Amino acid sequence: MRHPLLATASAVVAGMAFFVGGQALAAPATSFTPAQRAEIVGIMRDALQNDPSILTDAIRAIREKAEEQKQDSTLAAVKAHQSELQTAPDFAIRGNPHGRITVVEFYDPRCSYCRSMMGEVDSFLSRHPDVRLVEKVVPVLGTNSVLDTRAIFAASAQGKYEAMRRALMADTTKPSMERIVELAQANGIDTKKLTADMSSPQTVALINTNLDQGRAVGLDGTPTFIFGTAAVAPGALEADQMDAFLERARKA
The CATH number of residue 185's host domain is 3.40.30.10
Whether 196 is covered by a domain: the verdict is yes
Per-residue pLDDT at 13 = 31
Question: What pLDDT is recorded for position 110?
Answer: 97
Sign of CA dihedral 202, 204, 209, 214: positive
**Would you give the DSSP letter of residue 236?**
-
- Position 134 in a domain: yes
Residue 107 forms part of a structural domain: yes
d(CA 21, CA 103): 54
Q: d(Cα 203, Cα 54) in Å, to the nearest integer?
A: 54
| Residue 170 burial (C-beta neighbours within 10 Å; 0-12, 13-18, 19+) | exposed
Find the domain containing 204 and state its range: 83-251
Flag whether 48 is in a domain. no
Query: Using CB atoms within 10 A of its CB, is residue 99 exposed (0-12), middle (13-18) or buried (19+)?
Result: middle
Residue 104 lies in a domain: yes
Judge whether 163 lies within some domain: yes
* Per-residue model confidence (pLDDT) at position 51: 78
Asked if residue 151 belongs to a domain, the reply is yes
pLDDT for position 59: 74
Each residue's pLDDT, cut to its tens digit, for the chain (252 residues) gives 333 333 333 333 334 333 333 444 344 445 778 888 888 888 877 777 777 777 677 677 766 666 666 667 889 999 999 999 999 999 999 999 999 999 999 999 999 999 999 999 999 999 999 999 999 999 999 999 999 999 999 999 999 999 999 999 999 999 999 999 999 999 999 999 999 999 999 999 999 999 999 999 999 899 999 999 999 999 999 999 999 999 999 998
Q: What is the total count of domains within the chain?
A: 1
53 is a domain residue: no
